Amino acid sequence: MTRQNQKLLLDSITYTLLILGAVLMVGPFLWMISTSFKLPGDQFTKTLIPPTFTLDNFRELFSVNLNFPLLFWNSAYISILITVGQLLTCAMAAFCFAVVRFKGRNILFTGLLLTMLIPPQVTLIPNFIIFKYLHLIGSSVPLWLPAFWGGAFGTFLLRQYFLTIPRDLVDAARVDGASLIQIFWKIYLPLGKPALAALAIFTFQGAWNDLLHPLVYMPSVPNTMLTVGLAFFQQQMTHGGKFTVLMSGALISILPLLLVFFFAQKQFIEGIAFSGVKR
């Protein structure tokens, strides 16, 4: 086989595999979209294009005993609060670990990294007991409050990025008499924007998609998050339900993240690549 032919063969194998894989990855999403526009009577038809196109499922979503707008609002403000808390506290800690010299820095940082090994279940049980005694189960406080205690992943990610910012900038600012806070505020926060954006996206995504924590802390509909609401809705559906309505709910629940992803794809992908390479 000539080199030319060999390349052609390899290329066709590559494209065939990639396209086949892409269909498997996107297929379920197309199925979700398709089903959510089908009539309930057509819910099990095997065509991708709805036989009859309808918007009724979305209308019905707002009439079922689920209070979909409330679920959406809860998911939104809880996720935003968690994101704000993480950005604020992780950025402050990351700056200290990356820039400032102080006693116990290495021990503290190692300790923080070790907490990444603790499974969420270990913190979940005592936290639940404490929040139960504070009568906060059923409210959103247990979900967002711990986000204001910093976090190992966010601090680590930001610290690694802060370390790549040239030290000359700090030294020059110091000569000009800048204080620690000014250096943080005027140099590291503006220059750290790409990493902050990546962390914001990760945190928001994690909070929005989380099932376990809202299931424990806000277990009952209607006042809970979208994930728990959908799971509850699914259970109702199994008794002679309309999958078309369920799919329209699922579709609406993933829309915000799809929007974030399409507008901030670069930060998303570079953030993951960064966290994987710079260890």
Site for other proteins in 247-266 (CB under 8 A): 247, 250-251, 253-254, 257-258, 261, 265
C-alpha dihedral, 165 to 92 to 211 to 274, nearest 10°: 10
Which region among 13-21, 52-60, 65-73, 187-195 touches other proteins (by CB under 8 A)? 13-21
Long-range contacts of 113-121 (CB under 8 A, 24+ apart): 113/152, 113/156, 115/152, 116/152, 116/153, 116/156, 120/212, 120/213
Give the angle 141-147-152 at the CA atoms, nearest 5°: 155
9 near other proteins (CB under 8 A): no
Per-residue mark of binding to other proteins, 68-87 (x: CB under 8 A): --------------------
Beta bridge partners of 137: 139
What DSSP string runs through 229-270?
HHHHHHHHHTTT--HHHHHHHHHHHHHHHHHHHHHSHHHHHH
174 near other proteins (CB under 8 A): yes
Distances 124 to 80, 136, 188, 208 between C-alpha atoms, Å: 21, 14, 33, 18
Site size for other proteins (CB under 8 A): 96
Nearest distance from C-beta of residue 19 to other proteins, angstroms: 8
186 near other proteins (CB under 8 A): no
Per-residue mark of binding to other proteins, 39-58 (x: CB under 8 A): -----x-x------------
Beta bridge partners of 139: 137
CA 153, CA 107: separation in Å to the nearest integer?
A: 17
Which region among 50-58, 66-74, 189-197, 268-276 touches other proteins (by CB under 8 A)? 268-276
* Tokens encoding 166: 């040239």
180 near other proteins (CB under 8 A): yes
Which one of residues 209, 222, 223, 241 is an interface residue with other proteins (CB under 8 A)?
Answer: 209
Per-residue mark of binding to other proteins, 126-165 (x: CB under 8 A): xxxx--x-------------x-xxxx---x----------
Residue whose CB is less far from other proteins, 28 or 240:
28
Which region among 56-64, 66-74, 173-181, 185-193 touches other proteins (by CB under 8 A)? 173-181
Residue 239 has a CB neighbour count (10 Å cut-off) of: 6
